[in-house]
């Protein structure tokens, strides 16, 4: 399985990708929602794991909305990671 990890923190990239790698997943790491959209235009992912806060483009919720609005990716599961409360 291929997972797209959208996370700007290098520390979190390493920690999360190690967890996924240990489960036999292939991880593609990007730093922003803009990069994620570019990858999704060229590659099919089995699921997306994204941070809530992202440095450029839009946040993880808006990224999930973009994924849902695209007929090619609308069925791709999205996991949103955050340490903040979300209303």
What number does CATH give the domain 2-81? 3.40.50.2300
Measured from the Cβ of residue 36, the count of other Cβ atoms closer than 10 Å reads: 25
- pLDDT attached to residue 85: 62
pLDDT band at 83 (very low <50, low <70, confident <90, very high): confident
Q: Is residue 17 pLDDT above 80, yes or no?
A: yes
DSSP bridge partners of 49 = 5, 79
pLDDT digits (tens, 9 = 90+) for 26-82: 999 999 999 999 999 999 999 999 999 998 778 999 999 999 999 999 999 999 998
- pLDDT attached to residue 86: 58
- pLDDT attached to residue 19: 97
Q: How far apart are the first and last CA of the chain?
A: 32
């Amino acid at each position: 399985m291929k997972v797209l990890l959208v996370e700007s923190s290098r520390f979190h990239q390493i920690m999360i990708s190690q967890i996924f790698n240990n489960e036999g997943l292939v991880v593609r790491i990007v730093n922003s929602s803009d990069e994620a959209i570019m990858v999704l235009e060229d590659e099919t992912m089995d699921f997306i794991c994204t941070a809530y806060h992202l440095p450029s483009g839009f946040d993880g919720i808006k990224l999930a909305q973009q994924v849902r609005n695209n007929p090619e990716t609308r069925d791709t599961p999205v996991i949103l990671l955050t340490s903040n409360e979300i209303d």
